[in-house]
Amino acid sequence: MKNLLQSLAAGALLSFAIGSTSAQAQSTISGATQQGNGAYMLKTESRICITNTLLGVTGLGSCLDMNQEKFLITPSGHAMSVWKGVVPASARPAQRLVYNSTWTETTSDGVVRNYNTVAVTDPNGTITLTLTDKNNGKSKGGK
């Protein structure tokens, strides 16, 4: 449980800088509610420009403003973050586009999370980015 609380305090929300390839975690998860079996869920209104290296949309530019719809972390340390947005008409694909990548986040206390990401873009412009980390929050870096 101590490891879970440290993980929660160390990295709950991802924040992406415009055009950046690094991420920082928010230091708290205030407002998160515990959902069944001890999982913590935070529904947010965060709006951040997500780098196109995670979205893979041709013609998009360096980033796209997206809203974080959900952040979930389980007692075992698994984490998931879901972002949604709308791709401009000029960059919309003719058919559904699924783009897989990875994202590495290092918190200020040296905890490293390696996220697998999936971005799904529909021809109507709707895009959903899902980041998942199933390393149980135990990978360490810099310490």
Domain ranges of the chain: 2-133
pLDDT given for residue 4 in this prediction = 38
Res. 28: pLDDT tops 80 = no
Plot region of 89 (φ>0 → left; ψ -120 to 50 → alpha; else → beta): alpha
As a whole number, the mean pLDDT across the chain is: 74
| Confidence label for 1 from pLDDT (cuts 50, 70 and 90) | very low
Per residue, the 3-state secondary structure of 49-105, as one string, reads EEECCCCCCCCCCCEEEEEEEEEEECCCCCEEEEEEEECCHHHCCCCCEEEEEEEEE
- Cα 74 from Cα 68, distance rounded (Å): 18
For residue range 100-143, list pLDDT tens digits in order.
999 998 877 787 888 999 999 999 999 999 999 987 555 444 33
Q: Rounded to two decimals, what is the model's pTM?
A: 0.70
Strands 79-86 and 97-106: unpaired
pLDDT given for residue 139 in this prediction = 47
pLDDT given for residue 98 in this prediction = 98
For residue range 32-83, list pLDDT tens digits in order.
555 556 666 666 567 899 999 999 999 999 999 999 988 888 877 788 889 9
pLDDT given for residue 84 in this prediction = 96
| Confidence label for 88 from pLDDT (cuts 50, 70 and 90) | very high
Which CA distances in Å does 68 have to 94, 105, 107, 130, 140? 25, 16, 19, 10, 25
Residue 130: which H helix or E strand, with range? Answer: strand 126-133
Q: Running DSSP on this structure, what letter comes out for residue 131?
A: E
Nearest residue to 139 via CA among 101, 110, 103: 110
